[in-house]
Amino acid sequence: MHDYRLAAIPGDGIGPEVVEAGLEVLRVCAATDGGFGVAIQAFDWNSENYLLRGHYIPDGGLEQLRTFDAILFGAVGSQRVPDDVSLWGLRLAIVQAFDQYANVRPARLLPGVSSPLDKGDDIDWVIVRENSEGEYAGHGGRAHRGLPIEVGTETAVFTRVGVERIHRFAFELASQRPRRHLTLVTKSNAQRFGMVMWDEIFFEVARDYPAVKVDRELVDAATTRMVLKPDSLDVMVATNLHADILSDLASALSGSLGIGPTANLNPSRQFPSMFEPIHGSAFDITGKGIANPIATFWSVAMMLEHLGEARAAQRLMHAIEETTAAGEHTPDLGGQATTRSVTAAVCRALTG
């Protein structure tokens, strides 16, 4: 029997609440599967400790994290630390150091959940987000701070290697889905350099995947298409920033931000991949016991799939669907369930 070594980074806000729930479900899933075990180590890298220690990740922390099979992440962000400091200090420090360049975000309406869209049942998408460069490359600077001539630049960086590998990843993924349809999301009308290259390389890679139907959509038009014609989309590939925005929309259209999962993949498996809910710290509901843990459970299912435990991943997805179908909904979905009651229901479905 294989024992996976997993790192858990609960982080801030509702992160610890949903990660605790996710680990409970994972343990039950492993125990009832019988084919694998999990050994979990938790890391207290969060904003409270940043304020005490002056860093999110200690010296040698990434080297230690690297030895794990996968990472389950909660959320980072605190009212007491500027958002750019917390994001770059923890989440992006891991994503970039471990070259987790493919960010995969599935969205679909789970049974029993209602969508703000009439055609919500038609939502069945995967958003592939470029996760290593683009608008999040960290290139830019500020000068003449506080003076009238102050300047700030934020440069989006696109490299041939970076663009080609994410498009190839998206084509591979699209070719494994029944509809085999990939939409290129772009803004190459207004942005004439990196974005035009982004488009060109997409159509170069497309030649290697004749079975995948392709089309191209400007990011602004993509938002209306998601709302008005959800069934016309299958897999979308978009830049770091565009996909970040589209996936919040996708999550809300499929019922709540508390549902959407994410995989930050290092497809070469040179480094561990990281799995997390799309949502952030959600301070407004922190500590109330009502955070929706479904996004984290779905992220755990993606982690199991990545580890090669497809059967367990499927069982977990079924247990999640059984739970949502039975109306066990937290307040974000219009119900009165709690994090604990949803977790217990998923565990029951796994054992039953």
**Burial (0-12, 13-18, 19+ Cβ within 10 Å), 321:** middle
Residue 292 interacts with ligand ATP (CB under 6 A): yes or no? yes
Choose, by CB under 6 A, the member of 78, 264, 281, 323 that binds ligand ATP: 281
CB 162 within 8 A of CB 101: yes
CB 313 within 8 A of CB 302: yes
Count the site residues for ligand ATP by CB under 6 A: 16
| Total residue count of the chain as it appears in this document | 352
Give the interface segment with ligand ATP, choosing from 109-117, 183-191, 221-229, 275-283 (CB under 6 A): 275-283
Does 231 participate in catalysis according to the annotation? no
CB 279 within 8 A of CB 260: yes
Calpha distance 306→4 (Å, rounded): 12
Of 121, 208, 220, 231, which is the active-site residue?
A: 220
Residue 77 interacts with ligand ATP (CB under 6 A): yes or no? yes
| Cβ at position 330, least distance to ligand ATP in Å | 6
- Which amino acid does the sequence have at 308? G
3 state SS of 219: helix
Choose, by CB under 6 A, the member of 123, 295, 342, 350 that binds ligand ATP: 295
SS3 string, 91-107, reads: HHHHHHHCCCCEEEEEE
Of 136, 209, 234, 332, which is the active-site residue?
A: 136
| Cβ at position 247, least distance to ligand ATP in Å | 10
Calpha distance 285→161 (Å, rounded): 41
Residue 300 interacts with ligand ATP (CB under 6 A): yes or no? no
Question: DSSP string spanning 51-107?
Answer: HHHS-SS-TTHHHHHHTSSEEEEEE--BTTB-HHHHIIIIIHHHHHHTT--EEEEEE
Residue nearest to ligand ATP (CB): 280
Residue 332 interacts with ligand ATP (CB under 6 A): yes or no? yes
Does 59 participate in catalysis according to the annotation? no
Choose, by CB under 6 A, the member of 25, 123, 201, 291 that binds ligand ATP: 291
Residue 173 interacts with ligand ATP (CB under 6 A): yes or no? no
| Cβ at position 223, least distance to ligand ATP in Å | 16
| Cβ at position 290, least distance to ligand ATP in Å | 7
Residue 235 interacts with ligand ATP (CB under 6 A): yes or no? no
Does 234 participate in catalysis according to the annotation? no
Give the interface segment with ligand ATP, choosing from 64-72, 169-177, 207-215, 288-296 (CB under 6 A): 288-296
CA angle (41 as vertex; 323, 340 as ends), nearest 5:
25
Choose, by CB under 6 A, the member of 71, 235, 257, 265 that binds ligand ATP: 257
3 state SS of 43: coil
Residue 312 interacts with ligand ATP (CB under 6 A): yes or no? no
| Cβ at position 339, least distance to ligand ATP in Å | 8
Residues 6+ away with beta carbon under 8 Å from 93 = 56, 57, 62
Q: Which residues of the chain form contacts with ligand ATP (CB under 6 A)?
A: 14, 75, 77, 257-258, 279-282, 284-285, 291-292, 295, 330, 332
Residues with active-site annotation: 136, 187, 220, 244, 248
